[in-house]
């Protein structure tokens, strides 16, 4: 496990769910793809409940809801450049 605050958070979550071994079960008993499927389903359900005002509230109070230090468009540059290379030279895709 990680730091003391992380451990405290995990203990709180496990207690709230009534499942003391939740981290072990999710981490060891599920395949990586099943864990990803579960996490995506949870994220989708949570996102469906959030309205724009809730996003702004979370931004001001949640340490995990912060803008990225780099513009979103810059993270697309490598993908866009690679895609452009394939489009301009279709023979490379064979």
The 10s digit of each residue's pLDDT in 37-92 is 999 999 999 989 989 898 888 888 887 777 777 776 666 666 666 666 666 555 55
Q: Global pTM?
A: 0.54
Are 86 and 80 contacting, i.e. CB atoms less than 8 angstroms apart? no
Cα 30 to Cα 39, 77, 83: the distances in Å are: 12, 34, 34
Rounded Cα distance, 30 and 24, in Å: 9
Rounded Cα distance, 67 and 55, in Å: 12
């Amino acid at each position: 496990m990680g730091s003391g605050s992380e451990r405290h958070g995990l203990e709180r979550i496990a207690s709230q769910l009534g499942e003391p071994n939740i981290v072990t079960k999710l981490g060891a008993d599920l395949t990586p793809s099943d864990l990803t499927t579960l996490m995506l389903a949870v994220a989708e359900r949570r996102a469906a409940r959030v309205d724009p005002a809730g996003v702004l509230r979370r931004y001001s109070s949640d340490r995990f809801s912060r803008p990225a230090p780099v513009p979103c468009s810059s993270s697309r540059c490598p993908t866009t450049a690679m895609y452009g290379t394939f489009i301009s030279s279709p023979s490379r895709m064979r």
